[in-house]
Structure 1
Amino acid sequence: MREYKNNFIKADALFSKTLLSLAVVYSANTLSVTPTVSLPKGTSIGSTSFFDGFSGDSSGLTYLLYIQRENGTSLKDNEGKNAAPFDSPNLDVTIAINQIDYKFEPNESGNSFGITALLPVVSFDATFGSNGPTLYDNGTELGDLTISPYLQFSPVIKDGHPIFSHRAAVDVILPTGGYDADKDFNQSNNYVTLIPNWSFTILPAPRVEVSGRINYVYNFENSEPAGSSPMDWNGGAVSDTQAGQAFYMNFATSYEIFPGLRAGLNGYYLKQLTDDKVNGDTLADSKEEVLGVGPGVFWSSKDQNTNVWVNTYSESMVENRFRNELKLQFRIAQKF
């Protein structure tokens, strides 16, 4: 049980991927497109899993590296059906994230303040069939910087072992990454996003762990919407867009096979709560939704200073975004 007390470093807001909400209308030989309005690509959807409520007993510096691969093979509309205008859409996303986390010494109550920063490198490879419209990506660039102050609460102890641990944080995604106003898929959101979140881990029985992270997403305006096609809104120019507010949750449970190695299930669920906006007007039927579930494993070194997560997901209940047949993530945390 000692491992529960000394490891499982915080891994906040991971760069997720492009979330897309498009409305395409054919008129004679002309293609008119509403501006692309998307939820932030810096959300941590699916990036955290086992032992998410822990961040280690000791203070100090931790380095984390994420490698994520996503394969979007179909673009879904607001009814969860394949978007009719697109022929064989495919969006491959490769993401490498460097994260630095620093936790201060605990106060008299045993609670610890900390701060973490994440900077991703994101590579897009978008391909489309010969029929219908084609969307264009921005290649490989740095993504948006995420800064997240947090408070790690003192764990609840029973019979000398922790049985519950939790943390509160606010992720601030800053528009610092690559952004081309003539491209459909960009590394940067080009707007600020705030994501207050709460992470927890429950240890209900020997060898069993249950974790989750609840997030609320608020997005500010994008004053320079991007798109490869001319954008039109009610016959006029497009000056700004705003992605809707959203809720999402990461969840996981694992079982200890033998000391240092666990296996289990991990997943996420996202539900957009309000429609996107264009020039302050509501973009009807633009809410996104997705459920991802799959197996995962967790390994911790004997000294508990090195921790490794491998998570896989397959998506369903997809609306207004690309569906990933397979989403794979590798994460390693090294305590110094």
Structure 2
Amino acid sequence: MKKITLALLLPLALAGAAQAKEGGDQYPNGAEAREMVGALPPPGDYFINYAGYYSGTLRDRSGDKVRFGGREAKVNATFDALRYIKVTHTKILGADWGWHVIVPLVHQSMDFPPLGGRGSRSSVGDITIDPLVLGWHFGDWHAIAGLDINLPTGHFDKDDSRKSVGANYYSYEPVLALTYRNQSGFEGSIKLMYNIKTKNQDTDYQSGDEFHFDYWVGQHQGPWAYGLGGYYLKQTTDDKYKGRSVAAVDGVYGEGRRGQVFAIGPSLSYTSKRGISFIGQWQHETMVENRFAGDKFYFKLITAF
């Protein structure tokens, strides 16, 4: 039990945005599982609000629940991410140029038996900026490319992972988003990302890089749109401690503790005559390895200033 506890404390101490990002993810997976995610809007100022709730239990490399003396490790989080987007009149490589910033607000409550039970924290999470967002339009096809930079602005407690809302490291994330929408209203959208992490200097622990994407497939009908959306994540490099891959522990966690998750669920949106969009979504996680697994609920609002 002592070995398993020690192995968990380090990666869990890196948890970003209160496990609303599921185990250290600074990007809230599923945030962009929505329609027209690959289409940059016309020049102007835009606001997106991502409000949501996440609840899950810790899983091992086989997807089974991890227990400590018969008790499960659980987390739930309420979050609200505020995103401002500026699209300019400037053209770069034939694309519209824009930039954005995301500020997440998080309340986390984690029940982690090795640390004595439940603890909680409310804080600003890790802020995301992107000074170079480029958008192209090709008839029914649209594309966006960018480079998100995640900043270690959230509260971090190296002695108590239950109270860590920030990851305490920088990460850099190339982004490519694509949307196809035809005249009949059918649409498929995907946002592809690759997260490259730096080391947490306070713990000498470095979480592995990850390939992940958000997706949405559905139909537009008048002011309504309905479909299925979710996300997929696959860790591509090992977690490392003091420069060495983290070893397997008692057969519960594989070498390097590589995580994986796939989520899917229904999505419904309505756009008012004033152009304000309201989106409701449920995303259920499956195929989970070495991460928390559960359900995520989103309510999103999109509007122009």
For the 8 Å contact 1:246–1:274, the answer to whether it is kept is yes
1:292 aligns with 2:255: no
Q: Any residues of structure 2 matched to 1:69-218 within 5 Å, and which?
A: 69-72=53-56, 74-85=57-68, 87-107=71-91, 110-127=94-111, 134=116, 137-157=119-139, 163-185=140-162, 186-204=164-182, 206-218=184-196
Residues 269-309 of structure 1: per-residue CA shift (max 9 Å, x gap): 100011100011101320000010000012212242x1222
Secondary structure in 2 aligned to 1:120? strand
- CA root-mean-square deviation: 2.1
Residues of 1 paired with 2:195 and 2:174: CA distance? 7
1:134 Cα deviation from its structure 2 partner? 3.9
Instruction: From 209, 219, 228, give the equivalent of 1:255.
Output: 219
Secondary structure in 1 aligned to 2:3? strand
For the 8 Å contact 1:138–1:179, the answer to whether it is kept is no
Residues of 1 paired with 2:3 and 2:184: CA distance? 57
Aligned partner of 1:16 in structure 2 is none
1:308 aligns with 2:292: no
Distance 1:36 1:135, change over 3 A: farther
1:36 aligns with 2:10: yes
1:327 aligns with 2:305: no
Instruction: State which drifts further: 42-51 or 78-87.
Output: 78-87
TM-score, scaled to structure 1: 0.79
Residues of 1 paired with 2:6 and 2:136: CA distance? 55
Aligned partner of 2:287 in structure 1 is 317
Whichever residue aligns with residue 255 of structure 1, its letter is Q
Unpaired runs of at least 5, structure 1: 1-22, 158-162, 226-239
Structure with max Cα Rg: 1
For the 8 Å contact 2:218–2:228, the answer to whether it is kept is yes
Residues of 2 paired with 1:210 and 1:323: CA distance? 26
Q: How many residue pairs are counted as aligned between the two chains?
A: 284
Distance 1:125 1:138, change over 3 A: closer
Instruction: From 267, 280, 292, give the equivalent of 2:230.
Output: 267
Residues of 2 paired with 1:121 and 1:183: CA distance? 19
TM-score, scaled to structure 2: 0.86
For the 8 Å contact 2:149–2:170, the answer to whether it is kept is yes
1:316 Cα deviation from its structure 2 partner? 0.7
Whichever residue aligns with residue 308 of structure 1, its letter is F
1:90 Cα deviation from its structure 2 partner? 2.2
Secondary structure in 2 aligned to 1:43? coil
Distance 1:153 1:128, change over 3 A: closer
1:54 aligns with 2:36: no
Residues of 1 paired with 2:242 and 2:278: CA distance? 45
1:191 Cα deviation from its structure 2 partner? 0.4
Which structure has more helix as a fraction of its residues? 2
Aligned partner of 2:246 in structure 1 is 283
Secondary structure in 1 aligned to 2:10? coil
Instruction: State which drifts further: 258-267 or 100-109.
Output: 100-109
Aligned partner of 1:229 in structure 2 is none
1:110 Cα deviation from its structure 2 partner? 4.9
1:64 Cα deviation from its structure 2 partner? 1.6
For the 8 Å contact 1:287–1:319, the answer to whether it is kept is yes
Residues of 1 paired with 2:176 and 2:28: CA distance? 12
1:318 Cα deviation from its structure 2 partner? 0.6
Which structure has more strand as a fraction of its residues? 2
1:76 Cα deviation from its structure 2 partner? 0.5
Whichever residue aligns with residue 122 of structure 1, its letter is V
Residues of 2 paired with 1:33 and 1:167: CA distance? 39
Residues of 2 paired with 1:69 and 1:313: CA distance? 11
Residues of 1 paired with 2:184 and 2:233: CA distance? 31
